[in-house]
Structure formats: structure tokens, C-alpha cells
Amino acid sequence: MQQLHPIIQRLFDKKGFDQKKIEQFLSWDLKSLPELTKLKDLDVASKRIIEAIHLKQKIGVYGDYDVDGTTSCALLFHFFKMLDVEIDIVQPSRFIEGYGLHLSSIEEAVEKDIRVLITVDCGITNNEAADLARTKGLDLIITDHHKDARETMPDAFAVINPNRRDEDSVGDLKTLAGVAVAFALAVQIRADLALSGKILPTLYPLLQFVAIGTICDLAHLSPVNLKLVRHGLKLLKETQYPGLRAFFTADELKAKTIPSEKLAFHIGPLINSKGRLDHPELALQLLIASTPERARECYDHLVSCNNERKFIQSEVSKEAREQVLRERRSLGQNLEHLITIVYQPHWHEGVIGIVASKMVDTFKAPAIIFTDSEHPGVIKASCRSAGTLDMFNLLKKNEHLFIKFGGHKAAAGLSMKKENLREFITNMNNLLKEIPAIERTRMEFYDLEIEAGEINPQLMRDLDLLEPFGMGNEKPMFKIKGVHLDSFDIMKEAHVRWNFSHQKTKLKGISFNYIGKYEARGPEEIFTTQNIKREDLSVYFTLGLNRFNGNESIQLMIDRLDFGEF
């Protein structure tokens, strides 16, 4: 193995990794993965699907409206296209049907003469829909990864879920996103067809969709997910899918690697934007587009939709933050802020999940954002965790107050009668008082203190070896102390470009959406205080590349700046 940059080696040392553990972490070896096809009911589902293909029975795929569900639908579309099999794809509207598999969806599938319906990224809690499917003679195959939370599992033809209560597969598979479970089904079907002598193309290109869904659904980057996403990122650079190619500029496709941040902060929000504001169909149409022209048409529409989403989200975020600050002033600023729980009837349901994440970033505590549902007297919420807190288990202790709820450790959703809100807020605060702050708080931290002179092209290349970054494998946060702020520029009234010096080294940095950031000193105040007090700064940052006109330069992605040691 090549000699790693000293900073990378220090990162591994801090994690307690010996040479063998480092090699395992950096591995791309797909053969070392636990067998995806060991998941329960995969064989049963595969045989039924193959039977439907032979009998020319209609197959449908029903997927959630978020990135994980949409990439899952696209993955199975392209897989069945390899088999020369046409399928029906259905996605619900967030605002009409809502999340999950519904009785109306089963009725619709029966009317279309669908004989086998495959869910992706949903279904594990939809027992009533499974019962109706059975009585209607529709074979329902559930593929999901969410918690198996009902008293009993759905009585479906097959239930494929690494988190089903009786699943005994290797624990690493429990971290799979919904799109990876859909991929496992495709792998099983291909293997079974190969036994009968059918020659099929490799499924390797489908890992592009696995990478996008895994990163954007905030799936934990366990060893199995690290490998799947690494290969997906590699494939995206030379993607042959017109819909995926539309996401990238010429400069990005010429770069050595596609960073996971491109998926998390660009591709994911664009795919999600349509489902947040109306129906997700156009996002799916982009991912399955067969021509560059159709892909560009869909992509441009998503960009427009995402701009509208950003505006709505900004308004809701501002109101949510102001509501929290008002409540804190009325209760007393010294009272510990255990959780953000806010409600307004007019907030747009499609953005409350993102706003919840923004509130976690702002107040460093878990967040639950409520708005009115489509049913009078019923409110619904998106929930996001902070620290290592298991949001799903915390909500489960309030299950008696809900009409329905579901999700996983980091994120969840719920609906309940509005009259229960006050009791819910009291219960959540009481529960959180019993949990140590370190478990329920987003802590300000850094991984390593470094010197400016250590930042060089080799460090950037070796940081790429640690990709993908995401949940469970966060991008390293560095600290440099003794930094002088030479100048700054404010861009678009929100972002700040910084120019620093440290010893003999000049550094350039940027902070996005810094102006007005909660409890952050303004750049003018920092600059003035530094010069009056003759005090240098400590800067906390991740590292990124700035690409402009075909040139690349290293820049600091500034998270925060402090005076003194801390």
C-alpha cells in the first residue's frame, strides 16, 4: 500500500486503526461483502417474479417519493429493461396519498391487471394494504429497510428487509438503504435466471443508483455501504445513463473523482425537489430518460422546481427559528434547549424535513417540525436526530399519541391529533432530560489540529481515498490556530470569502450561508476584534477544491472561527 500523507495517517491513528484495519477501510473489494442474497424471502420473491415474466403477467413497482425511493424505482426500471421486460412504476404524492403503500394503491394495481407488485423503500408497516392485496389475489413483494415497527409484519407474499424482526443475516446488511435492497433483489433474479442458462449483462452499472440513494438517504456508511458507494461514484464519472449525465458539468466529468458531496448537496436536492412540491414523477422520468434531450428537459424543470423549494424552505426556516428564539426568551435563555419542536399550520409540508435538519444545525439539538395535514384536526411532522440519539426509539415511547409514525434512528415522520401536541412536547422534554447531553447534542468538534504548510495536493488526493463521506464516515474537520484574517468579501449577502495568513502560508476559504448564522460572529466584528486585541484566530474547516475555468485550487470550507485556543 502507498505511503499515506502524514495527516491521513494521524486520522487513522486517532481512530485506533492498525495496518490491517486501514486496508479493510480503504478496500474496494466487492467479493468481501456479506452476500446480499442471504436476505430472507429473496429466493421466494425471485422465483415469483421469474414466473410472472415467463407467464407474461404484469409486474408493477411502487416506490417512495424521496431520493431513495426514486433511485430504487429507476434501478428496477433499468434492470427489467435489461431483461426486455416492461414494468409499471407508481409513486404516490406526498400531498394526496402520503408516505407508504395505501389501500387505494392496491385497488389501482388490481385495476391495471398487475399480478406482482414490488414495493421499494416502503411497505414494512403497511399491514392493511398487504391484507387487501392478498384478498385481491395480488402478490405483494415488499422491499424496504425501515424499522419493522408494527405488532406483526405485513402478511405479504414476500418481505425483504434487513431490519425485519426475524432477519438473521450479517449485521452489516442492516445499514442498507432501500435502493441497495432493491439491488439485492435484482442480483437474486439475475442469479436464478443464469441457472437456467440465460445470459444477462452485468448489473454493475446499477451501483450508480445505489450510490445516490445511499448517500442521500443518510444511510450509515458501514463497510458494505462504503464499498457499494465507492464503485457507484467511480461509475458516475463515465455514466452512460443520459439522466445521470445531466447532473454533471464538463469540468466535473473531467475531474479525477466525483465527490460524495456532489450527491448530497446537488443531485439529492434536485431529485427530491419535485416530490417536495407536487408529484415526484418528473424526477423519475429524468433517471430513466433514454435520450440526452429528454434528460435535459427534465433536469431543467427540476432546477426550476428546486429554486422554488429553496425560497419556500428559507421562509419556513426563518419563521421556525424566530419561533424558537421567542419561546427561549419567554422561558429564559439559561434554560437548556433540549429539543426544537415547533408548529405552524401554513408551513409547506414538502420542506419541513429539510427545515428540521436546519434547526438541528442551528440549535445543536434534535428537531421536530409540525404543520397541518390534509385531514382537519391532524398535524404531521418531520423529525431529525442530533448526536447519537435514536430518534425512532424515542418516538416509540410516545406511540400512544400518534395516528401513525415510522422511520429510523436519524430521521422519522409522524402524524397525530393536534390536541396531543402539548402533551407530546412535555413528554419529549422529560425523556431527553434523562439522556446525557453528549448523546443528544450536535457537538462542536474537530478531528485534528494541523499546520497550514501541511495542506498540499497529496493531502487532497489521499482524502479522496477516504470517500465516500456521509453518516458514519464524516468528512474530517481540521483546526489551524494562530491564523490572521487578512481580508474578507461578502457574496450575495449570505456567503463569506476569507483570506488568511498563517506563518508564511496564504490560505483562501469560504463559508456558505454564514451571514446571520445563529451565534456566529460577523466577519466585520472578527476582523475588527482581531486588530484591536492583536489576537489571532483558530479556524475550523474541511478541505475542498475550487474549480474555475478548468483550473483547480485548494480552499478551506470554513465551519467556524474562534479567538484563542477553543
Q: Is 54 exposed, middle or buried (0-12, 13-18, 19+ CB in 10 A)?
A: exposed
Average of pLDDT values for 431-460? 94
| Crossing angle (nearest 10°) for helices 292-331 and 268-277 | 80
Report how far apart the first and last C-alpha atoms of the chain are (Å, whole number): 36
Question: Tell me: the pLDDT tens digits for 155-187?
Answer: 999 999 999 999 986 678 999 999 999 999 999
Q: Which of 347, 457, 513, 519 is nearest to 7 (CA)?
A: 457
Contact call for residues 383 and 393 (beta carbons, < 8 A)? no
- Inter-residue contact 539 to 561 (CB < 8 Å): yes
Cβ distance 245 to 267 under 8 Å?
no
442 close to 506: Cβ distance less than 8 angstroms: no
**Range list of H helices, 61-177:** 67-82, 103-111, 127-135
Contact 488, 527 (CB under 8 A): yes
- Tens-place pLDDT, residues 274-301: 888 888 899 999 999 999 999 999 999 9
- What pLDDT does 1 receive? 59
Same fold flag, 336-440 and 448-563: no
Which pLDDT value is given to residue 564?
64
Three-state SS for 490?
strand
Q: How far apart are CA 561 and CA 539, in angstroms?
A: 5
Whether 221 and 472 have beta carbons less than 8 Å apart is answered as yes
CATH architecture classification, 336-440? Roll (3.10)
Please state, as a whole number, how many other Cβ atoms lie within 10 Å of the Cβ of residue 249.
9
371 within 8 A of 349, measured Cβ to Cβ = yes
> Angle, to 10 degrees, between the axis of helix 103-111 and the axis of helix 127-135?
30
Q: Where are the domains of the chain?
A: 32-301, 336-440, 448-563
Pairwise CA distance, residues 180 & 209, whole Å: 9
Q: What is the dihedral of CA 153, 157, 161, 166, to 10 degrees?
A: 50
Closest CA to 382 of 342, 420, 422, 421: 342
Burial class (CB within 10 angstroms; exposed 0-12, middle 13-18, buried 19+) of 19: exposed
Determine the topology of domain 448-563 in CATH.
Answer: OB fold (Dihydrolipoamide Acetyltransferase, E2P) (2.40.50)
Q: How far apart are CA 225 and CA 210, in angstroms?
A: 9
Say which DSSP state 419 is in. G
Confidence tier at 566 by pLDDT (50, 70, 90): very low
User: Mean pLDDT across the stretch 331-345?
Assistant: 88
Percent of the chain with pLDDT over 70: 98
Which whole number is the average pLDDT over 352-374? 95
Percentage of the chain lying above the pLDDT 90 cut: 83
Q: Give the CA-trace dihedral at 110, 112, 115, 120, to 10 degrees.
A: -90
Q: Residue 246: left (phi > 0), alpha (psi -120 to 50), or beta?
A: alpha
- Main-chain phi, psi angles of 188, to 5 degrees: -65, -45
Using an 8 Å Cβ cutoff, are 428 and 434 in contact? no
- 537-548 and 478-491 beta bridge pairing: antiparallel
In terms of Cα–Cα distance, which of 408, 347, 343, 403 is closest to 375?
Answer: 403
Query: 0.75 cut: is pTM over it?
Result: yes
Q: What is the DSSP letter of 522?
A: P
**Contact of 203 with 190, CB cutoff 8 Å:** yes
Task: Give me the amino acid identity at 413.
Answer: G
119 burial level (CB within 10 Å; 0-12, 13-18, 19+): buried
Does 339 score more than 80 pLDDT? yes
What local confidence, expressed as pLDDT, does residue 333 receive?
64
pLDDT 10s digits, 466-503: 999 999 999 999 999 999 999 999 999 899 999 999 98
Which residues lie across from 407 on neighbouring strands?
412
pLDDT (mean) for 361-380: 96
Length of the chain as a residue count: 566
What is d(CA 354, CA 514) in angstroms, rounded to the nearest whole number? Answer: 18
pLDDT of residue 275: 86
Categorize the per-residue pLDDT at 516 as very low, low, confident or very high, splitting at 50, 70 and 90: confident
CATH class of 32-301: alpha beta
